[in-house]
Amino acid sequence: MLAAALVAASAAAPLVQLLTRVAGGGTEAAASALLRPRTADLLVDTLALTATVSALALALGIALATAAVRVRLPGRRLWWIALCLPLAVPSYVGAFAWTATWPTVDGFWPLVIVLTLCTVPYVTLPAMAALSTLDDGLVDVARTLGRGRVRVYVTVVLPHVLPAAAAGALLVALYALSDFGAPAILRVETLTTGVYAQFSSGFDRTLAATTALLLAAVAVVCVAGERLIRPRTVRTRTTASARPAVELGRAGTAATMTALAVVTAASVLFPVVALGIRML
């Protein structure tokens, strides 16, 4: 309990400092900072970015996890490793690779692509773990009752993997909220870039503290919302790993491997090659 209290106190210290500074500036100054049209614009842009990246990472992460675990692929374990590699590429490195290759590229959608590629393992890895504990008997029973593959996936497989994937999507949302480097490089103004600009250019830090406190409040809402919508009961089986149940044939297998290779190349290989060329 003492160790947990120390960790919690350390994590809460910045929030306490922000609250102290905002309170010291007075309620009128805090209200004025929150009601500024500029603050509203930053909040809307940040929420749009966070929601878009989280949704794309959730959909892509579940698809990648399904392909890696449930489909018969040559070198399955190598693909598992490849799907983890984007964690080694920070978002600002990916953003710099894009601008180094195409200097005129910037804006909302390039930032969405960069953040999605960098954060999708936060969804893929827990989804893969959940799929590995799926009871294949449930799938077999659903198939014997006449359900097609798509319906079995929607009614049996997807409900099993969604809680873990949603927890990963929460991490993606928090990453997108807190990221500073990629938005700064791709010239997208968010709450993080707004806090930095206000802190570095103003003598009165109350505006920066109020904006930072707003950012922290959005993060708290994300955590609370994820806990509210997460299903409470999940059926798992831990005695054995789920077998790769889907055989796609040569064309389907080649298409699946190509898709996995494209995602890996875009998230890992492209930044490394682009930075290497730039360095040379």
Q: Cβ neighbours of residue 131 under 8 Å, at least 6 residues apart?
A: 65, 66, 69, 70, 157, 160, 161, 242
Q: Is residue 53 part of a domain?
A: yes
For residue 90, the model assigns a pLDDT of: 92
Number of domains in the chain: 1
Q: Is residue 23 part of a domain?
A: yes
The pLDDT tens digits of the residues spanning 243-264 come to: 555 667 778 888 888 999 999 9
For residue 230, the model assigns a pLDDT of: 67
C-beta of residue 136 within 8 angstroms of C-beta of residue 128: no
Distance CA 69, CA 74 (A): 12
Q: Is residue 191 part of a domain?
A: yes
Distance CA 209, CA 199 (A): 8
Distance CA 124, CA 82 (A): 11
Residue 135 is given by DSSP the state -
Q: Tokens 């904006």 — which residue?
A: 211
For residue 151, the model assigns a pLDDT of: 77
C-beta of residue 178 within 8 angstroms of C-beta of residue 91: no
For residue 243, the model assigns a pLDDT of: 57
Q: Please tell me the pTM assigned to this model.
A: 0.85
For residue 233, the model assigns a pLDDT of: 52
DSSP string for 199-251: HHH-S-THHHHHHHHHHHHHHHHHHHHHHHHS-S------SSPPP--B--HHH
Q: Is residue 1 part of a domain?
A: no
Residues of the chain where predicted confidence (pLDDT) is lower than 50: 236, 238-240
Query: Around Cβ 16, how many Cβ atoms within 10 Å?
Result: 10
Q: Is residue 6 part of a domain?
A: no
Going 60 to 159 to 85 to 261, the CA torsion angle's sign is negative
Exposed e or buried b per residue across 128-167, where buried means at least 16 C-beta atoms within 10 angstroms of its C-beta: bebbbbbbeebbeebeeeebeeeebbeebbeebbbbbbbb
C-beta of residue 115 within 8 angstroms of C-beta of residue 182: yes
Q: Is residue 3 part of a domain?
A: no
Distance CA 254, CA 88 (A): 26
- Give me the helix-helix angle, 191-201 and 158-178, nearest 10°: 20
The CATH number covering residue 240 comes to 1.10.3720.10
Distance CA 180, CA 169 (A): 19
Tell which residue, 120, 141, 146, 145, has the closest CA to residue 67. Answer: 120
Q: Is residue 10 part of a domain?
A: no
For residue 238, the model assigns a pLDDT of: 47
Residue 187 is given by DSSP the state T
Q: Is residue 8 part of a domain?
A: no
Biggest alpha carbon distance in the chain? 71
Q: Tokens 């290497």 — which residue?
A: 276
For residue 59, the model assigns a pLDDT of: 94
Domain holding 92, by residue range, is 16-279
